[in-house]
Amino acid sequence: MTDPAASGSAPGSAPGAGLSERLTALFWRRPGLLVALLITPPLLWLGVVYIGSLAALLWQSFYSIDEFSGAIVKEFTLKTYAELGLQQNIDIIVRTVLMAAAVTVASVILAFPIAFFAARYARGRWKAFFYLGIMLPLWSSYLVKVYAWKLILAKEGIVTWAANGIGAGPLLDGVLALPVIGGGSLSTSYIGTFLVFVYVWLPYMILPMQAALERVPTSMIEASADLGAGGLRTLRSVILPLAAPGIIAGSIFTFSLTLGDYIIPQIIGSSRYFIGQAVYSLQGTAGNVPLAAAFAVIPIVIMLVYLTIARRMGAFDAL
Amino acid sequence: MTPAVEFSHVSRLFGTVRAVDDVSLTIPEGEFFAMLGPSGSGKTTCLRLISGFELPTGGEIRIFGAPSGDVPPNQRQVNTVFQDYALFPHMSVRDNVAYGPMVKGVPKAKRHALAEEMLALVHLDGFGDRKPAQLSGGQRQRVALARALVNQPRVLLLDEPLGALDLKLREAMQDELKSLQQRLGITFVFVTHDQGEALSMADRVAVFDQGRIIQVGSPSEIYERPATRFVADFVGSSNVLSPAEARALGGADRWASLRPEAIRLLLPHDPAARLSGRVTTVRYLGAGTRIGIEVEGRPARELAVLIPAGQPVPAPGTMVALGWADPALHPMEAAE
């Protein structure tokens, strides 16, 4: 393990064997020891830093805030959770979940053809081009991309200019005049928020989807056709069920990243809050850490519910 | 009667590689037809041309008289048993077998009954609820067979279906496939690189090499009267003699084949002896022993001799004499 050249030497080999040989022999006799050594640091990280902070978060959400002094009352109460039930907070949660769902569905629809092409047809140069094309946007700063989109979607931006240029200006105005999702311009509407979310998270959908589609054996697709199935039937009965774990993995990314993001809706969109923004302002300027914690628990609960439903529907049967 | 499958001058090129090169063949309905050849000889591509997963770059394929050029795989009356079985891992065995009827819109109760019937045919009654991963290799093979047969194909294509099974199971499945084919009367096209499998199961065998069919005939024709050196060597690894050697041994002035089992070991001064030589290698095969003999004289060469079990086997280094009946030295048609 420590030295490839030494891995062939057996225990009881020549006396005076080096440290690496002795270690190799030790690990060979006690395979559990190596596994323990490899897995302890990440387990500690996961246990203390990750699970620990999650537990602290959950703990804080059961505290409450004294309405007069603004001080945190460190006593167990469900009062904070009751506050989540206020109409303005419910609105934030529903808005965020709907946006995350819409972004996820759009990502699945956009990502599937790209991932399918990359997994089943792209070879050599095309494959390299695919990876570069998917990864390249991830190399630049998230903030730069979001501000770039603000300019693209602004009233004086290229989208409005292009729409007017091809005579689709009225169409754009019509879309922006729609209630709720419309607004003064794309960059100050939910449509704009949605477009940028889809752009920013799309690679996280394509990559796991492509990996899952690549694992579907060609012979299985051929077998489906051989048994009389047309393309759509094969897609529905063979390809999608077999690629489901990858699609679910991608949707975990797009869904939970949208649920938790507080920068994109801050820069692009109407001024109405998403969960991430609520958490940010509650724990910052408002100093209401318990309510911020209770808000932060919501995405976790939603993801658990989502995964449970996916599991019930057999999305992981092909794993 | 219209033949089940007919190739006329069919070619399939991959870039500049001629995977299938000007193949013409006719498979009558109800025949058990084997395509035999080493890997890369074009036999699997031929099978995929029949199923429609490959399209010919030249020539025409007719299935029951109808040109197949524009017919996609899902509309062909042929079904395939894939080499890796290609069972759907997320479906139960029953749903796998019922897949074809489901696609055709057969109601659930009816198609499940059909699936059970087919599972019984391949001796897998009661396995319907399992997932493919819970079956052994032989059982998966049977499921793949049932899944293809449930569609009542007029031609069943089998792509090395027994390759992944162990010897005992393979022999049992050979018998079973043969009797199934005779009972159902369906045309079977069977691809294999195993000459024993082809000879024991098929009504006719086509021997492939480098994209071409070298010889088509009944198993006994292929084995006893190989057309070329390649067939003689590939089917039953015969001793191939050059025209000069054949002439020296009293044969015609052509390439000739001399089967190892046709050669008898004689006492050194037996008048029937045609050659003598020294034993170099001895390879025990169970049902017999294959020995290599370095023949004396010019040009010096090795001959393989198969000694049936129960007969004495000479030790390496022993001098022996060899004899055979005249017809055993078979002159081949092809010049090369």
Number of domains in chain A: 2
Q: What is the model's pLDDT at position A36?
A: 92
Residue B82 sits in a domain whose CATH number is 3.40.50.300
* Pair A106, A169 in one domain: yes
Q: A319 to chain B, minimum CA–CA distance in Å?
A: 9
Task: Give the residue from B164, B199, B233 where a domain finishes.
Answer: B233
Task: Tell which of B45, B90, B154 to mutate to test the A interface (max A CBs under 10 Å).
Answer: B90
Residue B60 lies in a domain: yes
Chain A nearest CA to B48, separation (Å): 10
Residues B229 and B248 occupy one common structural domain: no
Over residues B119-144, the mean pLDDT reads 92
pLDDT score, position A206: 94
Share of chain B above pLDDT 70, in %: 98
Taking CB atoms and an 8 Å cutoff, what residues of chain B touch A219? 82-84, 86
Q: Are residues A155 and A287 in the same domain?
A: yes
Beta partners for residue B206, in sequence order: B35, B216
CA distance A287 to A136: 39
| Chain B contact residues (CB < 8 Å to A) | 51-53, 72-75, 78-80, 82-84, 86-90, 99-100, 102-104, 147-148, 151
Q: Are residues B144 and B211 in the same domain?
A: yes
Residue A77, domain member (yes or no): no
* B79 and B217 assigned to the same domain: yes
Q: In this predicted model, which residue has the larger pLDDT, A287 or B265?
A: B265
Q: Which of A151-155, B113-117, B297-301 has the highest mean pLDDT?
A: B113-117
Same domain, A203 and A278: yes
List chain B residues with CB under 8 Å of A224: 88, 99
Which DSSP letter does residue A236 get? Answer: I
Compute the distance between CA of residue A44 and CA of residue A46 in angstroms, rounded to an integer.
5
Provide the 10 A C-beta neighbour count for residue A168.
Answer: 13
pLDDT for B44 equals 93
In a domain, B191, yes or no: yes
Q: Is the pLDDT of residue B254 over 60?
A: yes
> pLDDT tens digit string along A275-316?
999 999 888 877 888 999 999 999 999 999 988 988 887 777
Contacts of residue A205, defined as CB under 8 A and 6 or more positions apart, other chains included, come to A104, A107, A108, A110, A111, A115, A250, A251, A253, A254
Q: What is the pLDDT of residues B48-86, one digit of tens each?
A: 999 999 999 999 999 999 999 889 999 999 999 999 999
Q: Are residues B217 and B257 in the same domain?
A: no
Choose, out of A215, A227, A317, the residue to mutate when testing the contact with B (most B CBs < 10 Å): A227
Band (A15; pLDDT cuts 50, 70, 90): low
Are B44 and B182 in a shared domain? Answer: yes
On whether any CB of chain B is under 8 Å from the CB of A226, the answer is yes
- Our separate counts of H helices and E strands in chain A read 16, 2
| A289/A148 same-domain check | yes
**Quick one: which of B83, B180, B169, B95 has its CA closest to B130?**
B95
Q: Which residue has the tokens 């199934």?
A: B180
Does a structural domain hold residue B154? yes
Distance from the Cα of B75 to chain A's closest Cα (Å) equals 6
Nearest CA to B188 among B81, B97, B96?
A: B81
The per-residue pLDDT for A1 is 43
Interchain proximity A222–B79, CB inside 8 Å: no
| Shared-domain flag, residues A36 and A144 | no
Q: Residue B86: list chain A partners with CB under 8 A.
A: 217, 219-220, 222-223
Residues in chain A within 8 Å Cβ distance of B151? 227-228
Query: Is residue B331 packed enough to be buried (19+ CB in 10 Å), middle (13-18) or exposed (0-12)?
Result: middle
CB of A224 within 8 Å of a chain B CB? The answer is yes
| B111 & B92 share domain | yes
Please indicate, yes or no, whether residues A101 and A248 belong to a single structural domain of this protein.
Answer: yes
Statement to judge: residues A33 and A162 lie in one domain: no
Which chain B residue has the Cα nearest residue A226? B74
Residues B248 and B182 in one domain: no
ipTM of the complex: 0.85
CATH of the domain at A235: 1.10.3720.10
Contact A318 B89 (CB under 8 A): yes
Which amino acid makes up residue A265? P
Q: Which residues of B touch A226 (CB under 8 A)?
A: 51, 53, 73-74, 78-80, 148
A108 and A33, same structural domain?
Answer: no
Distance from CA of B74 to the nearest CA of A (A): 4
Q: Do A219 and B83 touch (CB under 8 A)?
A: yes
Mutant choice from B44, B53, B68, B74 vs A, greatest count of A C-beta within 10 A = B74
Tally C-beta pairs within 8 A across A and B.
65
Question: Looking at beta carbons, which residues of chain A come within 8 Å of B78?
Answer: 226
Structural domain contains residue A289: yes
Residues A156 and A230 in one domain: yes
**How many Å separate Cα B109 from the centre of its chain?**
39
* Residue A154 maps to a domain: yes
CA–CA min distance B168, chain A (Å): 27
Give the single-character DSSP code of A239. I
A225 CB within 8 Å of a chain B CB: yes
Higher pLDDT, A144 or A181: A144
Judging contacts by C-beta atoms under 8 Å, the chain B residues touching residue A223 are: 80, 82, 86-88
pLDDT above 90 covers a percentage of chain B that reads: 64
Least confident of A175-184, A244-253, B136-145, B203-212: A175-184
Q: Report if residue B336 sits inside a domain.
A: no
Asked, for residue A45, whether it belongs to a domain, the answer is yes
Q: Which domain holds residue B308?
A: 240-331
Which residue among A226, A237, A314 sits closest to B80, beta carbon to beta carbon? A226
CA distances to A26, A124, A242, A314, B295 from A111, in Å: 48, 21, 16, 22, 70
Beta strand B155-159 pairing with B187-192: parallel
Nearest to A225 among B74, B87, B88 (CB): B74
| Residue range of the domain that includes A37 | 4-60
B321: domain CATH number is: 2.40.50.140
Chain B interface includes A311 (CB < 8 A): no
CA of B164: how far to CAs of A10, B51, B52, B160, in Å? Answer: 35, 22, 24, 8
Q: Which residues of B touch A318 (CB under 8 A)?
A: 89-90
Distance CA B238, CA B259 (A): 5
SS3 category, B62: strand
A219 in reach of chain B (CB within 8 A):
yes
Residue to mutate among B88, B106, B155, B157, with most A CBs inside 10 A, is: B88
Is residue B216 one of the residues assigned to a domain? Answer: yes
The Cα of B88 is separated from the nearest Cα of chain A by a number of Å equal to 7
Let me know whether A53 and A106 are in one domain. Answer: no
Beta strands in chain B (DSSP E): 5-14, 17-27, 32-36, 58-63, 66-67, 78-81, 155-159, 187-192, 204-209, 212-217, 239-241, 256-258, 264-266, 275-284, 288-295, 302-308, 319-323, 329-331
Task: Give yes or no for A174 touching B (CB within 8 A).
Answer: no
Are B224 and B311 found together in one domain?
A: no
Residue B308 lies in a domain: yes
Co-location of B293 and B264 in the same domain: yes
**Is there a contact between B86 and A217 if contact means CB atoms under 8 Å apart?**
yes
Kindly state the average pLDDT of the residues B210-215: 94
In this prediction, residue A105 carries a pLDDT of 96
B78-112 confidence digits (pLDDT tens) = 999 999 999 999 999 999 999 999 999 999 999 99
pLDDT at A7: 46
Record: contact A227-B74, CB cut-off 8 A: yes
**Residue A11 in this model has a pLDDT that exceeds 60:** no
Number of domains in chain B: 2
Residues B160, B104 share a domain: yes
For residue A245, tell me if it sits in a domain: yes
pLDDT tier at A66, thresholds 50, 70, 90: confident
Average of per-residue pLDDT across A145-171:
89
Residues A134 and A265 in one domain: yes
B176, B201, B233: which is the final residue of a domain? B233
Residue of A219, A237, A241 with shortest CB distance to B86: A219
Residues A91, A56, single domain; the answer is no
Contacts of A123 in chain B (CB under 8 A): none
Residue A6: pLDDT over 50: no
**B162 plus B273 within the same structural domain:** no
Nearest CA in chain B to A232: B103
Residues B177 and B257 in one domain: no
Of B171, B201, B233, the last residue of a domain is B233
Residue B43 has pLDDT above 90, yes or no: yes
